[in-house]
């Protein structure tokens, strides 16, 4: 079966809440729909959620995370910080813990052995579950050293022009196994806690249940896709991803998409024509990271201005009718938010009106006053 870009784009936009009315169901529903919200830059995560959710502000996203606890801040695909719907955390941890580990980037004398990693993860679990409050990095380091020895706290791990304690190599493993997640900031300090304290009754799903669920969630949002594209999104080896696809058998179907073979959930109904849509997507938005092929999503000038060595997400983008059609930047001073948008082509009167509404919506989400300027964007890509 051949499926066109227009059909796929219409389906993806609708499922990612990027066309039609904004989602009325709240932050957790949006996070689940896009299969996790990248939160390395927290203000960008707040925009990703808020721009998709009816009447949502950054305060409401924070309340969903820290008060209602229907969101969890943890490490998700590719080991990067994400906001995950609490109801999806069992699936995520069950799946992430089953991904084969990649080669260590550290020198042999710095690396943790498999046995040491297990010791550290067990120490982390005991420390955060038994603590009276969330722990800062320094407090967690002290607790781990007290349980396993000083080798875990040795400052030998190069990171951001400083050396981190050795145990932090196991942080992503601990989050993947479901024993660690982020807590709220304490002043300017990051804190950690246990999902079991945060979400009573939590436990990871078995991998044989979690992996198919995660793959089908991804394909529901961003399919058709290839094993290589899924593996790149998840941070998993291509061969392993291909075996996962093959293991789902008749639950998936092969289609011809943009001239190549790709897979989607069996029985998917082709999307109709998408209505006109214009959205501003912030840094690392899930839509641009999840969607392929890149050449169609980022046509022409978009490929050079909005991709970084083929990587999506490092530049905020203007999305028109499901295709990257410009870049943008915002600068805040107090409550004033200056939004500069650089379209790659002239905008129609309808598109200018929609863009003005989208910028107003940014002001609502970020609880400020946004002002639009259409002009050149000089800011480079995010690291």
The answer as to whether 345 is a domain residue is yes
The answer as to whether 301 is a domain residue is yes
Give pLDDT, residue 113: 93
Q: State pTM to two decimals.
A: 0.94
The answer as to whether 111 is a domain residue is no
The answer as to whether 33 is a domain residue is no
Return the closest-CA partner of residue 209 out of 87, 85, 98, 94: 94
The answer as to whether 170 is a domain residue is no
**pLDDT (tens digit, 9 = 90+) per residue, 128-165?**
999 999 999 999 999 999 999 999 999 998 887 889 99
The answer as to whether 335 is a domain residue is yes
Return the closest-CA partner of residue 343 out of 287, 305, 379, 381: 305
Return the closest-CA partner of residue 69 out of 53, 56, 87: 87
Return the closest-CA partner of residue 181 out of 171, 164, 193: 193
The answer as to whether 366 is a domain residue is yes
**pLDDT (tens digit, 9 = 90+) per residue, 303-339?**
999 999 889 999 999 999 999 999 999 999 999 999 9
- 171 Cα distance to chain centroid: 18
**pLDDT (tens digit, 9 = 90+) per residue, 11-56?**
999 999 999 778 777 899 999 999 999 999 999 999 999 999 998 9
Please give the tally of structural domains in the chain.
1
Give pLDDT, residue 217: 98
**pLDDT (tens digit, 9 = 90+) per residue, 187-226?**
999 999 999 998 999 999 999 999 999 999 999 999 999 9
Q: Domain span at residue 296?
A: 290-374
The answer as to whether 96 is a domain residue is no
The DSSP string of 163-232 is EEEGGGGGHHHHHHTTS-EEEEEETTEEEEE-HHHHSTT--PPPHHHHHHHHHHHHHHHH-SB-HHHHHH
Give pLDDT, residue 17: 94
């Amino acid at each position: 079966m051949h499926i066109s870009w227009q059909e796929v784009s219409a389906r993806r936009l609708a499922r990612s809440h990027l066309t039609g009315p904004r989602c009325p169901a709240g932050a957790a529903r949006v996070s689940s729909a896009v299969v996790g919200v990248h939160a390395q830059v927290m203000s960008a995560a707040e925009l990703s959620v808020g721009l998709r959710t009816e009447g949502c502000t950054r305060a409401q996203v924070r309340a969903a995370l820290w008060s209602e606890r229907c969101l969890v801040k943890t490490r998700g695909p590719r080991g990067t910080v994400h906001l995950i719907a609490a109801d999806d955390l069992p699936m995520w941890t069950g799946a992430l813990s089953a991904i084969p580990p990649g080669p260590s980037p550290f020198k042999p004398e710095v690396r943790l052995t498999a046995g040491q990693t297990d010791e550290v993860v067990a120490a982390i679990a005991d420390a955060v579950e038994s603590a009276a409050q969330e722990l800062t990095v320094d407090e967690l380091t002290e607790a781990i050293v007290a349980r396993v020895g000083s080798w875990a706290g040795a400052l030998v791990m190069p990171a951001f022009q400083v050396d981190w304690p050795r145990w932090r190599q196991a942080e992503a493993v601990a989050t993947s196994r479901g024993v660690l997640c982020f807590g709220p900031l304490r002043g300017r300090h990051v804190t950690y806690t246990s999902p079991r304290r945060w979400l009573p009754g939590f436990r990871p799903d078995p991998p044989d249940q979690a992996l198919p669920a995660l793959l089908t969630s991804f394909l529901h949002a961003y399919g058709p896709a290839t094993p290589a594209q899924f593996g790149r999104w998840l941070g998993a080896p291509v061969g392993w991803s291909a075996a996962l696809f093959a293991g789902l058998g008749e639950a998936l179907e092969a289609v011809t998409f943009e001239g190549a073979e790709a897979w989607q959930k069996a029985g998917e109904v082709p999307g109709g024509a998408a209505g006109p849509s214009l959205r501003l997507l912030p840094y690392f938005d899930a839509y641009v990271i999840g969607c392929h092929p890149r050449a169609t999503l980022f046509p022409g000038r978009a490929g050079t201005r909005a991709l970084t060595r083929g990587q999506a997400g490092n530049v905020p983008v203007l999305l028109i009718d499901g295709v990257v059609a410009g870049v943008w930047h915002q600068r805040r001073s107090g409550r004033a938010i200056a939004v500069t948008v650089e379209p790659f082509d002239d905008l129609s009167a309808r598109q200018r009106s929609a863009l003005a509404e989208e910028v107003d919506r940014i002001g609502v989400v970020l609880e400020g006053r946004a002002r639009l300027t259409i002009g050149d964007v000089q800011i480079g890509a995010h690291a």
